[in-house]
Amino acid sequence: MTNQRKVIIDALKSSKAHPSADMVYDYVRARIPNVSLGTVYRNLESMYQSSMIVKIETPGGQKRFDFNTEPHPHFHCEKCGKIEDVPFELHAPVPDEASEWMKRRVITSSTLNYRGLCEECSHII
Ligand SMILES: [Zn+2]
Ligand SMILES: [Zn+2]
């Protein structure tokens, strides 16, 4: 593993904000001044291809990255753009019909995301 790759992983691990490639680049550049944005992009892309990290698509925004590859819901703040992990299950108990429905299918992944205003932003409006 290259040192660049190690620092990129540090950037993803140390951030709770689900950083964009640009945010990862800022972190890496502070430690390896001659790194290029292209190198950071290529590393993120190859880590994504080998399922080491998760790519989060944001509507009209930049792609964001998550080192936590366990399926978990996200909360997108529409004002400041922050992406937070939702630390618990918010959905209602599954009705009986749903468990019947699910018995006949195999679910391999699920994405449930929330949008709105984060704690800080909801105070300003
Ligand atoms: Zn916010
Ligand atoms: Zn996450």
Tell me the CA–centroid distance for residue 18 and ligand 2, in Å: 6
Answer yes or no: pTM beyond 0.85. no
Kindly identify the ligand whose nearest atom is closest to the C-alpha of 125: 1
Domain 1-69, CATH among 3.40.50.410, 1.10.300.10, 1.10.1740.110, 1.10.10.10: 1.10.10.10
Tell me the CA–centroid distance for residue 103 and ligand 1, in Å: 39
pLDDT of 9: 95
Segments of the chain scoring below 70 in pLDDT? 1, 89-94, 107-111, 125
**Could you tell me the CA-to-CA distances from 113 to 41, 51, 117 in Å, in that order?**
25, 20, 13
pLDDT of 99: 77
CATH 3.30.2270.10 given to domain 71-125: no
pLDDT of 80: 87
Tell me the CA–centroid distance for residue 55 and ligand 2, in Å: 10
Whose tokens are 């995301």? That residue is: 113
